[in-house]
Amino acid sequence: MDELVSATKSHDREKAKQASEKLVKMGDDAMPLIERGIPLLEKGFDLENRALAGYIMQVLKNIKTKGSTKMLLDLTGRWKDTREGEYYIVGDAMYELQSRDINVEVDKELLDFMLRKLQEGNLFTAPRAGRILGKMKKVDPTVRAQACISALKNEVSRESDVNTPQELLPSSYATEAQYKIRQYIFALEDIGAPAIPFISDALRNINAGSYKEYLTICLCLAGGKKTPSPEVESEIVNLAKSSSNGYIRALGIRVLSEWEDKTLVPMLKDALNDDFKVVVKPDKVSPDMRKGADGCYYFDYYPVRGEAYSALRKLGIKVKWQGDKATFQE
In a domain, 89, yes or no: no
Confidence grade of residue 221 (pLDDT, cut at 50, 70, 90) = confident
In a domain, 297, yes or no: yes
In a domain, 210, yes or no: yes
Average pLDDT estimate for 318-322 = 76
Tens digit of each residue's pLDDT (9 = 90 or more) over 70-117: 999 999 999 888 888 888 899 999 999 999 999 999 999 999 999 999
- 68-82, 142-156, 253-267: least confident range: 253-267
Average pLDDT over the chain, rounded to an integer: 87
CATH number of the domain at 161, please: 1.25.10
Domain that holds residue 205: 140-329
Asked if 199 and 188 touch (Cβ cutoff 8 Å), the reply is yes
Q: How many angstroms separate the CA atoms of 48 and 7, rounded?
A: 10
In a domain, 236, yes or no: yes
In a domain, 99, yes or no: no
Instruction: State yes or no: pLDDT of 321 exceeds 80.
Output: no
Confidence grade of residue 243 (pLDDT, cut at 50, 70, 90) = very high
Tally of domains within the chain: 1
- 85-89, 160-164, 290-294: least confident range: 160-164
Asked if 124 and 209 touch (Cβ cutoff 8 Å), the reply is no
Instruction: State yes or no: pLDDT of 318 exceeds 90.
Output: no
In a domain, 126, yes or no: no
Helix ranges restricted to H, the chain:
2-9, 13-26, 31-41, 47-62, 66-79, 83-85, 91-97, 108-120, 125-135, 141-158, 176-191, 196-204, 210-222, 230-242, 246-259, 265-271, 303-314
pTM for this predicted structure:
0.84
In a domain, 65, yes or no: no
In a domain, 13, yes or no: no
